[in-house]
Chain A
Amino acid sequence: MAEKLSITIKLAGGEEIERQLADIGAAGQKAFGDIADAARKAGGFKNLKPEEVTAKLKEMGIVGKEAFDKISGAVATATRFQQIADVVQSIETGFAGLARGAMGLARVLGPIGIAAAAIGTKVVSAMNEAEAAIRAVDTAAIKAGMSIEKFDQLRQGFEKMGLSAQGVEQALQGIASAAEKAKIEAVTTAFKQLQEAATRGYGGIGTAQLNLLVEAAQGVGPAADAARKALTELGVTLQLPARTLADFITLAGDATQGTAAFVESLRQMPDGATRSALAIDAFKDAGVGLVQALRNGIITEDQFKERLGTITQEAANAANASVQAATQMDSAWERFKQNLLGGAAWDSVKASGLDAWNAITASIERAYDALLKFMGLRSQSPNAAPDAPGFAHGGTVGGRGTGTSDSNLAWVSRGEHIMPARAVRQPGVLALLEALRRTGGNLRGVMDGMGRFALGGVVPQLPRFADGGMVGGMQHLGTVDLRTDHGTARLMASSSAVEQLSRLAVTKRMTSTGKKPGFIG
């Protein structure tokens, strides 16, 4: 007896499906080239109807016919086209993220960001090319195998994608160059300002400018060369007064012009896509509006800085999104290469593109940091001493100079009260102030600790501190020499106790010299 009729199909990790997909893909890819060559010899796809193409291919012999059969079968499965659609979608996502990142960065980077973002429109343009290719490929993928015209559309879509890839690579390099160029301009601007300041006799180089130049000089490339040259010509001993808000407003004015140009360039883009419109609105709201509000006095400097901080966070998010987009593009290109081209030609494209983008992010970060320092929004602002102490909890001011020289800077808060050193030096004042400070201003508690004699009474035995020791409840506010038959002792007591003891001593002296006069109470 034979075994039971039983046939098992195993997915085995999708192995069989994967193998079939590879076979279909390889056959389709080869047939793709065969049919394209055959079609060119037949006069091109555009000039022929499908049945005519078939007839032409038959006339060309068995090779063409086989190729046609193979491509028909392969296209009918739509295997490659599904993969193509996926890859194209990934690339489109990468492009969109890249463009968003470039536009978002422009919001806060001023002229540097504007320059970079303006070049970034190349990316947007490349993205639009990609979109057109996507549409062509997608259409072909959906209707794969239906007609030879669709096949031709697909071929054209591939060609467009190839062009787009090169365009993106060039755009990325362009952004890097623009960022470098923008940095050169920033250095050049600082250089000119320093020269002008030196000519006017300001007597020195500004810390912010110096930092900018020094930082730039530490890098490599044209910007670093320019910075080193500037430092050589200026020297490091020059000093320049601090940058003012007015200077920044001038800078912001330039940014406004650049912004307008950028917005206009976006408007002139042919696609008119929703994505671009949204980018324009966001850019206008966050960038142009803020700068104009500051210039027109609608918002204060503090408000400007606060809102700038908000936009800064947006820029950080945008930058991170850009990096992620670059990562996505990396993956997308890798798949694109593996699935469609199957060669190593795109390795260089991918590498150069990512290197360029990394250069952009690094250079823009440095430029942005330098810009913040330049604007005085960093801790190195020359308006404040870098190590000025704070007195949030009060205390005695140390430092240098006299009691009235105002030689020491300090961070103080509204409502705090500062006393002249001369008043603080008076007997008991410092201790009283310290007691008040430590008790949080509890005047009653401090006075109770001292002991009060406003209503008279016996003064309790006072502790002695001639040999030092811990002061108890009474504060050391004054001293009085108490002479007795057994000797003299120096007492430390509150001002009221000192006064009463002094009065007692005077009375004693008067008593010892005889009957007290009438004017003694």
Chain B
Amino acid sequence: MAEFKATADIPAWLQAIRDKQKPVAEAAVAALRETAANSVQEGRRDIAAAGRFGTAWQEGLKYRTKGAKEGNTPSLNAQATIYHRYGIAAVFEHGAVISGKPLLWIPTTPGGPAPSKSGKKLVSATINGRPMLFDKGDPDRHRKPLYVGVPSVTIKKRFHITEIVKENVKRMAQLFIKHFKDD
């Protein structure tokens, strides 16, 4: 005769839940990757627009993901890190005040080496109350100073990577929907 019963197949149910969760996790991880990639892309443009930062500076901005998979399944605990390979990049991201001990010697030639690496014997003098370093071996009476001594230097914020990432994160749900629909 006919049987009217609804059986509870727990393993099948669990598998069904996993099957349901998998596309969600896949879409979420894809959204995470795209968010990070977009952040890097926009961040590089931001660095390029900041001034004298060449290709190496621009391409120094990268991202890496971690924990995107647990076993063979995508994980909702994945994370992406956007970073710059130059440690000093954070100075241009946040701005900074750099202090000397007691003075910070600024080269008068842009991009010049630090005084200790100039390869020259230096002599200090204070002109109009401003400490300067001169080449000791230069006999010219009108020699120019090689370094100017200042107590500190304020570097303005040049990069906006954090803001760019935050803006991209706000659009992560849209990316999630896009990838979820694509699946």
The contact of A11 among B32, B159, B161, by CB within 8 Å, is B32
Q: Which residues of B lie under 8 Å from residue A78 when comparing CB positions?
A: 177, 181
CA distance A11 to B36 in the complex (A): 12
Asked if A408 CB lies within 8 Å of chain B CBs, one says no
Residues of B61-106 at the interface with A, using a CB-CB cut-off of 8 Å, are: 61, 75-84, 87-91, 93-94, 96
Q: Which of chain A's residues has its CB closest to B181's CB?
A: A82
Complex Cα distance A369/B3, Å? 10
Report A155 CB to chain B, min CB distance, Å.
Answer: 21
A498 in the interface (beta carbon within 8 A) = no
In whole angstroms, what is the CA distance A78 to B174 when docked? 8
Q: Does A20 contact B (CB under 8 A)?
A: yes
Bound Cα distance from A17 to B28, whole angstroms: 8
Whether the Cβ atoms of A320 and B176 lie closer than 8 Å is: no
Decide if A5 is an interface residue (CB 8 Å cutoff): yes
Q: Is the CB of B79 within 8 A of A7?
A: no
CB <8 Å contact, A323 and B2 = no
Report B-chain residues with C-beta under 8 Å of the C-beta of A8: 79-82
Q: Does A365 contact B (CB under 8 A)?
A: yes
In the complex the two chains form, is B87's CB within 8 Å of A17's CB? no
Q: Mark A8-41, 1 if CB is under 8 A from B, else 0.
A: 1111111011001100100000000000000000
Stretch at the interface among B112-120, B126-134, B140-148, B165-173: B165-173
CA distance A204 to B174 in the complex (A): 77
- B105, chain A: closest CB distance, angstroms: 17
Q: Does A214 contact B (CB under 8 A)?
A: no
Instruction: Please give, as numbers and ranges, the residues of chain A lying within 8 Å of B36 by CB-CB distance.
Output: 9
Interface residues on A, range: 35 or more
* A372 CA to B2 CA, complexed, in Å: 11
B18 to chain A minimum Cβ distance, whole angstroms, is 15
* Contact across chains for A17 and B173 when beta carbons are under 8 A apart: yes
> Nearest residue in A to B88 (C-beta to C-beta)?
A1
Given known pairs A319-B4, A320-B4, A324-B6, the reply for A20 and B170 (CB within 8 Å) is yes
Please tell me which one of the listed residues A5, A12, A319 contacts residue B3 in the complex, with CB atoms under 8 A apart: A319
Note all chain A residues with C-beta closer than 8 A to B80: 8-9
Pair B172/A16 contact, Cβ less than 8 Å: yes
Q: Which residues of A156-200 are within 8 A (CB) of B?
A: none
B45-68: contact bitstring with A at CB < 8 Å (1 yes, 0 no)?
Answer: 000000000000000010000000
B96 and A372 form a contact (CB under 8 A): no
Decide: B177 and A77 in contact? CB cutoff 8 A: yes
In Å, the complex CA distance between A355 and B161 comes to 58
**B76 — which chain A residues lie within 8 A by C-beta?**
11-14
Distance of B125 from chain A, by nearest CB (Å): 30
- Contacts A14-B28, A20-B173 given; does A9 touch B79 at CB 8 Å: yes
**Binary contact track A74-85/B, C-beta < 8 Å → 1, others 0:** 000111001000
Check A4 against B90 for contact (C-beta < 8 Å).
Answer: yes
CA distance A79 to B176 in the complex (A): 9
Collect the chain B residues with CB atoms within 8 Å of residue A364's CB.
4
- Residues B32 and A12 in contact, CB atoms below 8 Å apart: no
Option from B2, B78, B81, B174 in Cβ contact (under 8 Å) with A7: B81
- A327 partner, pick from B2, B6, B81, beta carbons under 8 A: B6
Q: Is A233 an interface residue (CB 8 A)?
A: no
Contacts of A327 in B (CB 8 A): 6
CA distance A373 to B161 in the complex (A): 80
B160, chain A: closest CB distance, angstroms: 11
- A495 / chain B contacts, CB cutoff of 8 Å: none
Nearest-CB residue, chain A, relative to B67: A11
Chain A residue nearest to B61 (CB atoms) is A5
Tell me whether B96 and A316 are in contact (CB under 8 A): no
Chain A residues near B39 (CB, 8 Å)? 7
CB within 8 Å for A82 and B29 given contacts A2-B90, A20-B170: no
Please measure, in the bound complex, the distance between the C-alpha atom of A108 and the C-alpha atom of B77, giving whole angstroms: 53
Contact residues in B for A16 (Cβ distance below 8 Å): 169, 172
Q: Return B28 CB to nearest CB of chain A, in Å.
A: 5
Closest A-chain residue to B74, C-beta based?
A11
Of B2, B31, B89, B173, which is within 8 A of A319 by CB? B2
| B81 cross-chain contacts in A, Cβ below 8 A | 6-9
B90 engages A10 (CB within 8 Å): no
Measured between beta carbons, the chain A residues less than 8 angstroms from B159 are 5
Q: Are A10 and B79 in contact (CB under 8 A)?
A: yes
Contacts of B25 in A (CB 8 A): 14
Tell me, rounded to whole Å, the shortest Cβ–Cβ distance linking B57 to chain A. Answer: 11
A-side contacts of B4, CB under 8 Å: 316, 319-320, 323, 361-362, 364-365
A294-330 interface (Cβ within 8 A of B): 312, 315-316, 319-320, 323-324, 327
List the A residue with the shortest CB-CB distance to B25: A14
Interfacial chain A residues near B82, Cβ < 8 Å: 6-9
In whole angstroms, how far apart are the Cα atoms of A4 and B90 in the complex? Answer: 5
B binding-site residues for A, Cβ under 8 Å: 1-6, 24-25, 28-29, 31-32, 35-36, 39, 61, 75-84, 87-91, 93-94, 96, 159, 161-162, 165, 169-170, 172-174, 176-177, 180-181
Residues of chain A at the chain B interface (Cβ within 8 Å)? 1-14, 16-17, 20-21, 24, 77-79, 82, 105, 108, 312, 315-316, 319-320, 323-324, 327, 361-362, 364-365, 368-369, 372
Can you list 19 A-B contacts with CB-CB less than 8 angstroms, sorted by A residue number? A1-B88, A2-B91, A2-B94, A5-B159, A6-B83, A8-B80, A8-B82, A9-B79, A9-B172, A11-B32, A14-B24, A17-B172, A20-B173, A21-B177, A78-B181, A316-B1, A316-B3, A324-B6, A364-B4
